[in-house]
Structure 1
């Protein structure tokens, strides 16, 4: 189950974008080996709100584009399919039978700014940031060059599958 909530008023969203996001998330999770019923939330905010959350949660008093809050633990360098692919989750690990993957907070205002910087569509920027965050929920990271290359490769593969390309 994917929950999408829009708490900002700066950028107008539409149902078409939400449907695309749901399809991207479901596809990414399936490709990464999530076979259980799942739950994750996506919250759209503005720059001011994401700055507040970034300061509260990470001690960084700056705006950012997206924040990911995974609920599963991953050993360094491991991703969902390497740790949990055939994992037998206990009932207490689940919420109403669903695996809680985590939360994503995305500043649509920042996505609009970055769309211009990267010279592509708002839709592409939002989709990229959603995939990026979902991969973070699944253990991917980009702190080390090798991990970064793997994460970027997965992001681009998924975007290409949906024909979301740089224009």
Structure 2
């Protein structure tokens, strides 16, 4: 089950559509949907998590905690709506597109994709692009 939670003044439009999209991506990657909790928050909220749990003294757009068991995807994904807004402006893309990219990015990590090396990041970006096309 996918749940959406809000710790800031933001509400995701079309929760059902986004939930179905995420679930379909998980199946296409050869996994089964377990429980995923999305928490939409602000920069301060996510910054505190970044410092406390990852010892990173930086702002970020997403932090994901992966509880996947075998091929069943479970996790908590925290997204800073403020960071996504700023990134959308920086990349000159619509906010909704950047938000969906970040939403699927966390799930792709749960499916085993990494983004620390240039080759891994390139593959991750191509997967994000593919799933973004599936949404439209």
What's the offset of the Cα at 1:100?
5.3
Do the aligned residues in 2 keep the contact of 1:70 with 1:138 (CA within 8 Å)? Answer: no
Deviations 1:36-84 (A, max 9, x none): x5111100010000000000111012210001111137xxxxxxxxxx4
Higher helix proportion: 2
Q: Quickly say closer, same or farther: Cα 1:70–1:14, change in 2 above 3 A.
A: closer
Q: Are 2:90 and 1:117 aligned?
A: yes
What's the offset of the Cα at 1:148?
1.7
Q: Identify the residue that residue 2 of structure 1 maps to in structure 2.
A: 2
Given the two structures, how large is their TM-score scaled by the length of structure 2? Answer: 0.90
**Structure showing greater Rg:** 1
Given the two structures, how large is their TM-score scaled by the length of structure 1? Answer: 0.75
Which has the higher mean CA deviation after the structures are superposed, 127-136 or 23-32? Answer: 23-32
Q: Are 2:47 and 1:51 aligned?
A: yes
The CA RMSD measured in Å over matched residues stands at: 1.7
Q: Which runs of 5 or more residues in structure 2 are unaligned?
A: none
Total equivalences in the alignment: 136
Do the aligned residues in 2 keep the contact of 1:24 with 1:131 (CA within 8 Å)? Answer: no
Q: Identify the residue that residue 159 of structure 1 maps to in structure 2.
A: 132
Rounded to whole Å, the distance in 2 between the matches of 1:65 and 1:20 is 22
- Kindly report structure 1 stretches of 4+ aligned residues shifted beyond 3 Å: none
Rounded to whole Å, the distance in 2 between the matches of 1:63 and 1:39 is 26
Higher strand proportion: 2
Q: Are 2:23 and 1:23 aligned?
A: no
Which has the higher mean CA deviation after the structures are superposed, 18-27 or 136-145? Answer: 18-27
Do the aligned residues in 1 keep the contact of 2:8 with 2:41 (CA within 8 Å)? Answer: yes
